[in-house]
Amino acid sequence: MTISRKNTLKSITSLFLLLLTLGFANFAVAQTTSSPYSRYGIGDIGAKGFGQGFALGGTYIALQNDTVPMFFINNGNPASYSNMKLVTAELGANYNRTQLQSADAKSTINNASLGYISLAFPFKKWWGASIGLVPFSSVGYKISDEQDITNIGTVKYLYEGTGGINQVYFGNGIKPFYNLPRAYQMSGKYAILNSKKNSDQTLKNCHQLFSDNQKIRKTLNRKKFMQSLSLGANASYLFGNMENTRRSIFPSSLYAFNTRTGTNTRVDGMYFDYGMQMAYIVDSVKYKDKSDTCRPIKFRDLKDNVKIMFGVTFSSQTNLDATIDSLSYSYFNNSLGYEIVKDTIENTQGAKGKITIPLSFGFGIGIKKGERWTIAADFAIQNWSDYSAFGVSQGLKNTMRTSLGAQYIPDSKPNATYFKRTHYRIGVRYMQTALELKATPLNEYAGSIGFGFPVGRSYILQNFSMVNIGVEVGQRGTLTNGLIKENFIKATVGFTINDKWFQKPKFD
């Protein structure tokens, strides 16, 4: 019997394209933050990585797929695409609950939005690619400030902002030295050394044979290490608009008119980021056998291989095209509450300029023991002091992020009980943000926990699914110097689907 998967392929492709189309509409109006600090720069920068990385404290730079499902998409480091073995689709939704606290007031804001849509697929054993739609930044705030000014009276300031920048990306990852170990094993030099290795060990040249064995092992390990080198790049189109409004209201004055200043900034342009990954696998430990005078150094196989992963990410400084509309006017409210414009102060439409996205760099390391344990750590910086909009700097500071995450799978075998196949995740992160207000740096701390629940699994048809749930609790800001402290809870629900496409499995 032959099972055709043509219809399945069409259905999944159609569903992904539909979700991508709906995602465009949703992202264009979505507000994924409720932070007053998103009024600075281009707003709150979106986190990279999807459901798995979110629960690992936002760790992603060194994470890569192994040879065993589940496979996840790591859009934060495009070098990881080269390790894809199955077509993978990811879809996620986010929920944020933010409590804003000042010295004398508290308020709580909730919002939910589409988090990410992505698809990854392997072209060759050494080449993979991914396409997706994710938020790049988000603006969302509504705050008020009331002050008593001498000779004027009470002045109420209202600030409001919405919008953000969206990112459509297409990335590729390759392993340029994938065939290096095989080429070495097919070489004449390897054939000569290998033939000596299999010869009579009682010969007088025993020590030479031992040296040849060591040479083969070391050379092959070096070739395998070079084989693991992955290089990748994402080419992204950034687009979106950010609306910011400021009102000055004079409730106690009969002679002063209120003022309103509003700007609408539209942004679009190409953005590129790059990645590199390598991995070294330790599958045995060395020991000395004194009873064997010919081959005293031997190796004992480990029960679980240890995989040491390294990763680097980089993006250069980029200038995006920007257009701004600005309108300022004075007004008063009539008896029905409608605004009556008194005078136009400024009206600038379609002014063009550039918004500079600064250079960023990150380094990550991870250790994976068998399929059970994965531990990873990241360190990343971005030069936001170089940020400017329309040639004007906003006085931002360079950011620094550190994160640490761990994942545990009790038993990944297909016949294991359900909760033994569940993925358990935990993570922490710390970030020095780009803001320093009133000579006070604003830092962010967060801890996360998450689970990956398997949903259906077929090793015969090679399709796998998982529901990823993650929750993060943290805070940003401080009450010092009249600033605002944010206590937040972020949650994500993601769906990961692995499937083998373009093949027709056959059963006798």
Rg (CA), the chain: 28
Give the residue with greater pLDDT, 70 vs 409: 409
Tell me the fold of 6-175+228-499.
Porin (2.40.160)
**pLDDT, average across residues 379-408:** 94
Mean per-residue pLDDT over the chain, rounded: 85
pLDDT at 20: 56
**pLDDT, average across residues 283-305:** 77
- Cβ proximity of 35 and 140 under 8 Å: yes
pLDDT at 22: 52
pLDDT at 128: 95
Query: Is 506 a residue whose pLDDT tops 60?
Result: no
Domain ranges for the chain, please list them.
6-175+228-499
Nearest Cα neighbor of 264 from 336, 195, 179, 163 is 163
Query: Is 405 a residue whose pLDDT tops 90?
Result: yes
Q: What is the per-residue pLDDT across 167-222, written as a single tens digit (0 to 9) for each?
A: 999 999 999 999 998 888 888 877 777 776 555 445 456 766 666 677 788 888 88
**pLDDT, average across residues 105-114:** 86
pLDDT at 459: 57
Residue 408, beta-bridge partner list: 373, 424
Q: What is the pTM of this model?
A: 0.87
Q: What is 326-376 written as a DSSP string?
A: EEEEEEEE-TTS-EEEEEEEEEEEEEEEEEEEPPEEEEEEEEEETTTEEEE
pLDDT at 268: 94
Tokens 């379609």 belong to residue: 350
How far is 15 from 38, CA to CA, in rounded Å?
A: 33
Give the residue with greater pLDDT, 263 vs 208: 263
Split at pLDDT 50, 70, 90, the class of 502 is low
**pLDDT, average across residues 294-302:** 75
Q: What is 379-447 written as a DSSP string?
A: EEEE-GGG-EETTEE-----EEEEEEEEEE-S--STTS-HHHHSEEEEEEEEEEEEEEETTEEEEEEEE
How far is 42 from 96, CA to CA, in rounded Å?
A: 19
Q: What is the per-residue pLDDT across 452-486, written as a single tens digit (0 to 9) for each?
A: 999 876 555 556 889 999 999 999 999 888 889 99
Q: What is the per-residue pLDDT across 36-91, written as a single tens digit (0 to 9) for each?
A: 899 999 999 988 888 899 999 999 999 998 877 789 999 999 999 999 998 999 99
Nearest Cα neighbor of 91 from 467, 425, 471 is 467
How far is 407 from 232, CA to CA, in rounded Å?
A: 25
Nearest Cα neighbor of 217 from 288, 283, 305, 289 is 283
Split at pLDDT 50, 70, 90, the class of 2 is very low
**pLDDT, average across residues 431-459:** 89
The gap between the terminal CA atoms of the chain, to the nearest Å, is 6
How far is 406 from 376, CA to CA, in rounded Å?
A: 6
Query: Is 380 a residue whose pLDDT tops 90?
Result: yes
Split at pLDDT 50, 70, 90, the class of 23 is low
